[in-house]
Amino acid sequence: MATWVPCGEDFITGDVIRWVEPIWKPKKRQTDRGEKLGYRLVMAQVMRSDSEWASLEVMGCKHHLLDGWTVDALEGHIRRRRGPIGQGGAQRALVGDHEARAITASRYLNEPEGSAPEAPKAAAPHPGNWPPALPRSGSGTRAPHKGNTRGRRGPKTRHVPKGKR
């Protein structure tokens, strides 16, 4: 069993990471608002990464969904942005030779000695608290559209001062 340490967005090629990401309900229209159906705990190895994107090989995936919904498990290669992975409470497995990782890692990714790792900015579910609380099902989270509220005034007209008419 590997030991996991918080890493956020600071991972390099060859690391094994895990994070929590939301699962969204499919939209019927492009203008529909997204609804969360649940969460997915993804464990993957970083195959390639740059400053914004990461190419990952999925090693394992767990789902926690609302009742009545099913989703396909992630398999094979996936591509994700670093930001959402870091917001999902990303953790890195401590395996293998740490000196080899230090040679591979950029000096800008290594944290100075004696400093504590920074907590993620968003309050994301942590893999240690799996499964997370699910969102409430059903709509009604926002007020219905009221339509045109102009009333009896009619169409909007431009106000022109009396001397300019």
pLDDT in tens, 97-138: 565 566 556 555 555 555 555 554 445 556 666 677 776 656
Q: How many CB atoms lie within 10 A of CB 54?
A: 22
- Quick one: which of 37, 33, 60, 46 has its CA closest to 7? 46
At 91 the pLDDT is 86
At 9 the pLDDT is 83
Q: Give the residue, 161 or 117, on which the prediction is more confident.
A: 161
Q: Which two tokens stand for residue 68?
A: 């009545």
Domain residue ranges in the chain: 3-107+121-130
Contact in structure between 80 and 54 (CB atoms under 8 Å) = yes
- Running DSSP on this structure, what letter comes out for residue 99? H
**pLDDT over 90, % of the chain:** 4
Rounded to whole angstroms, how far apart are CA atoms 41 and 130?
8
- Quick one: which of 106, 107, 49 has its CA closest to 81? 49
pLDDT grade for 57, boundaries at 50, 70 and 90: very high
pLDDT grade for 70, boundaries at 50, 70 and 90: confident
The backbone region for 157, taken as left when phi is positive above 0, alpha when psi lies in -120 to 50, beta otherwise, is beta
Enclosing H/E stretch for 159: none
